[in-house]
Amino acid sequence: MDGSVHHDITVGTKRGSDELFSSVSNGPYIMSTTANGNDSKKFKGDIRGPGVPSRVIHIRKLPNDITETEVISLGLPFGDVTNLLMLKAKNQAFLEMSSEEAAQNMVGYYSTVMPVIRHHPVYVQFSNHKELKTDNSPNQERAQAALRALSTSHVDPAVAAPSAVLRVVVENLVYPVTLDALCQIFSKFGTVLRIIVFTKNSQFQALLQYADGASAQAAKLSLDGQNIYNGCCTLRISFSKLTSLNVKYNNEKSRDFTRPDLPTGDSQPTMEHPAMATAFTPGIISAAPYAGATHAFPPAFTIQPAVSSPYPGLTVPALPGALASLSLPGATRLGFPSMSAGHCVLLVSNLNPERVTPHCLFILFGVYGDVMRVKILFNKKENALVQMSDSTQAQLAMSHLNGQRLHGKPLRITLSKHTNVQLPREGHEDQGLTKDYSNSPLHRFKKPGSKNYSNIFPPSATLHLSNIPPSVVEDDLKMLFSSSGAMVKAFKFFQKDHKMALIQMGSVEEAIESLIEFHNHDLGENHHLRVSFSKSSI
């Protein structure tokens, strides 16, 4: 095998410029032998198909001044790191884990929670190599020294912080606060590994473990004393004496994101505070937590983790109203850099050029936010730009849809360098490849505090149907959904409300295509069908 050819195909086809697809979308990516003193000669290993699990993890888009310790820290929460190869000139690294299971957990976790190092999102995927063979160059000696230091002590690289575990007390608990809500707020500052929520002395509290002490310190500095909702639910944060959390169950009270295999246990919490009963209704974070509440909180920002399919049962819903107080203009003052509007355009690649249309992307991405414009690239029809109404929605769509199959091909989604999608100039024909949807009546999130915010779920084989007229019966809907050639596995009307139903398709891919085809379908009597993904199964 020629050691200078490296067959890791990138996730997404974006490298530096949205237009440079041809160089990487087909065929191997050639790694130049000048990178970091001939590093590329060190690859010896089996060539595997892209996406096949391996103990070796390929990490891309690293910041220029990245340290070995920071790269190793990405892997340590999931198990021992046995080898490291840094390609600093390429802003890439290869990390070898002690077992394939640890590597799978790591890739699964980071496919839903984008790791951020020094404000740079980095990309994690399986390598095609089964193991790393490294030599004794000075670069490698430094990597091996960092590995020895971290694996023997397993201590935090950031010694400045007393602990990577925070104790969080929520005072003045007017509205329910859930484990998912806390996860989304605290993930803004680093990777949350484990979290436990409980009530002690009539106070709602949480213990939350970060991957490193520096993240814990940043979160404490920024969030201590802040209100989750306007004027209430105040966060009081201190460092815990614990250095690590031991989580036995993944449910509404505790979660270990590094161990998707944990059982759910009994998730019925015993709560001392009456408001907490609502907080733990599974999957519901209501935008106006009490029926009589007149406050409708617009979402401030939804922060990852938007945990999706790799971990069944670990759906993190969007967070309506979280940190509403921080969505005000003073947000930057409170330590939240306002994300620029430049992050609201997504580059979607690996589309099926025969079947994709602006409308189908508008409907699919519209499940996760309001789509303003869609442009399928004229010369590269397997690529499109999708402009969401804000960066939160772009992030949400990317984390839920990246890797999902549409028309037989897994979608690849990255943030585009473009800040908006240009409409064609008047008189210029673009064959209907660019569409403006900014005034579409089909936007799901126009109303502040809309209940759609609390019903955002990853794509699943089961679809939630609503706005069904009384005259339409089960067989009508089954026939409609099988008319496109898809398989309908199960169907169930809601017991109390026949305007709503669940329908289970043969696969997630069939459900995605059915949602695109039948959302807003005219059922007569002035009823247009509404379709979204469900977290329930029938």
> What string of DSSP letters covers 295-326?
--PPP----S----TTSTT------TTTTGGG
What would you measure as the largest C-alpha separation in the chain, in angstroms? 75
Instruction: Please indicate, yes or no, whether residues 146 and 61 belong to a single structural domain of this protein.
Output: yes
**Distance of alpha carbon 75 from alpha carbon 93, whole angstroms:** 12
Contact predicate 164/207, CB 8 Å? no
- State which of 406, 436, 466 marks the end of a domain: 436
Q: What is the mean pLDDT of the chain?
A: 75
pLDDT bracket for residue 449 (50, 70, 90): low
* Domain-located, residue 409: yes
Contact predicate 123/14, CB 8 Å? no
Comparing CA positions, the residue from 284, 326, 175, 243 lying closest to residue 535 is 284
State the pLDDT at residue 367: 95
* Domain-located, residue 446: no
Query: Among 212-216, 221-225, 400-404, 448-452, whose mean pLDDT is lowest?
Result: 448-452
Tokens of 53: 């699990």
- Residue 230 domain boundaries: 165-256
pLDDT, tens only, 510-535: 999 999 999 999 998 889 999 999 98
Contact predicate 11/92, CB 8 Å? no
Contact predicate 489/504, CB 8 Å? yes
Instruction: Please indicate, yes or no, whether residues 142 and 226 belong to a single structural domain of this protein.
Output: no
Helix, strand, coil distribution of the chain in percent, nearest 5:
25, 20, 55
Residue range 469-488: mean pLDDT, rounded: 95
Instruction: Please indicate, yes or no, whether residues 365 and 419 belong to a single structural domain of this protein.
Output: yes
pLDDT bracket for residue 266 (50, 70, 90): low
**Distance of alpha carbon 224 from alpha carbon 285, whole angstroms:** 23
Tokens of 75: 């892997």
Instruction: Please indicate, yes or no, whether residues 489 and 524 belong to a single structural domain of this protein.
Output: yes
- State which of 199, 233, 256 marks the end of a domain: 256
* Domain-located, residue 464: yes
* Domain-located, residue 263: no
Tokens of 291: 């029926």
pLDDT bracket for residue 443 (50, 70, 90): very high
Q: Is the pLDDT of residue 341 over 80?
A: no
* Domain-located, residue 42: no
* Domain-located, residue 334: no
State the pLDDT at residue 201: 85
pLDDT bracket for residue 209 (50, 70, 90): very high
Question: Residue 487: what are its φ and ψ, rounded to 5°?
Answer: -100, 130
- State which of 208, 237, 256 marks the end of a domain: 256
Give every CB contact of residue 109 below 8 A, 6+ residues apart in sequence. Answer: 78, 257, 258, 260, 310
pLDDT, tens only, 289-321: 222 222 223 233 333 333 332 333 333 333 333
Query: Among 179-183, 209-213, 275-279, whose mean pLDDT is lowest?
Result: 275-279
What is the Cα gyration radius of the chain?
Answer: 24
Confidence (pTM): 0.44
Instruction: Please indicate, yes or no, whether residues 176 and 245 belong to a single structural domain of this protein.
Output: yes
Residue range 34-53: mean pLDDT, rounded: 46
State the pLDDT at residue 463: 97
State the pLDDT at residue 151: 61
Residue range 144-158: mean pLDDT, rounded: 61
Q: What is the separation of C-alpha 450 from the centre of its chain, rounded to a whole number of angstroms?
A: 21
Q: Is the pLDDT of residue 284 over 70?
A: no
Residue range 398-425: mean pLDDT, rounded: 89
Contact predicate 199/207, CB 8 Å? no
**Distance of alpha carbon 447 from alpha carbon 460, whole angstroms:** 25
Q: Is the pLDDT of residue 176 over 90?
A: no
Question: Can you list the positions of beta strands (E) in 391-525?
Answer: 405-406, 409-410, 412-415, 434-436, 462-466, 488-493, 501-505
Establish whether the linkage from the previous residue to 305 is cis, with ω within 30° of 0.
Answer: yes
Q: Is the pLDDT of residue 130 over 80?
A: yes
**Distance of alpha carbon 114 from alpha carbon 121, whole angstroms:** 6
Contact predicate 373/436, CB 8 Å? yes
Instruction: Please indicate, yes or no, whether residues 182 and 243 belong to a single structural domain of this protein.
Output: yes
State the pLDDT at residue 467: 95
Tokens of 198: 């409980």
50-to-9, 20, 209, 524 alpha-carbon distances in Å: 7, 20, 32, 47
* Percent of the chain residues topping a pLDDT of 90: 37
Q: What is the separation of C-alpha 351 from the centre of its chain, rounded to a whole number of angstroms?
A: 20
Beta-sheet pairing, 192-200 with 203-210: antiparallel
Report the range out of 32-41, 120-129, 472-481 with the highest average pLDDT.
472-481
The Cβ of residue 116 has, within 10 Å, a number of other Cβ atoms equal to 16
State the pLDDT at residue 333: 25
Tokens of 424: 């064609």
How many domains does one find in the chain? 4
State the pLDDT at residue 214: 84
The CATH code of the domain that includes 208 is 3.30.70.330
Instruction: Please indicate, yes or no, whether residues 417 and 466 belong to a single structural domain of this protein.
Output: no
State the pLDDT at residue 228: 82
* Domain-located, residue 319: no
Instruction: Please indicate, yes or no, whether residues 250 and 171 belong to a single structural domain of this protein.
Output: yes
pLDDT bracket for residue 74 (50, 70, 90): confident
State the pLDDT at residue 21: 26
Instruction: Please indicate, yes or no, whether residues 67 and 136 belong to a single structural domain of this protein.
Output: yes
Instruction: Please indicate, yes or no, whether residues 85 and 133 belong to a single structural domain of this protein.
Output: yes
Comparing CA positions, the residue from 312, 179, 307, 346 lying closest to residue 255 is 179
Residue range 234-260: mean pLDDT, rounded: 90
**Distance of alpha carbon 502 from alpha carbon 493, whole angstroms:** 6
* Domain-located, residue 40: no
State the pLDDT at residue 102: 86
Q: Where are the alpha helices (DSSP H) in 366-454?
A: 391-401
Query: Among 51-55, 235-239, 437-441, whose mean pLDDT is lowest?
Result: 51-55
Give every CB contact of residue 79 below 8 A, 6+ residues apart in sequence. Answer: 97, 98, 99, 101, 102, 105, 106
Residue owning tokens 């001392």: 272
Instruction: Please indicate, yes or no, whether residues 189 and 231 belong to a single structural domain of this protein.
Output: yes
Instruction: Please indicate, yes or no, whether residues 202 and 248 belong to a single structural domain of this protein.
Output: yes
Give every CB contact of residue 172 below 8 A, 6+ residues apart in sequence. Answer: 232, 233, 234
**Distance of alpha carbon 405 from alpha carbon 355, whole angstroms:** 13
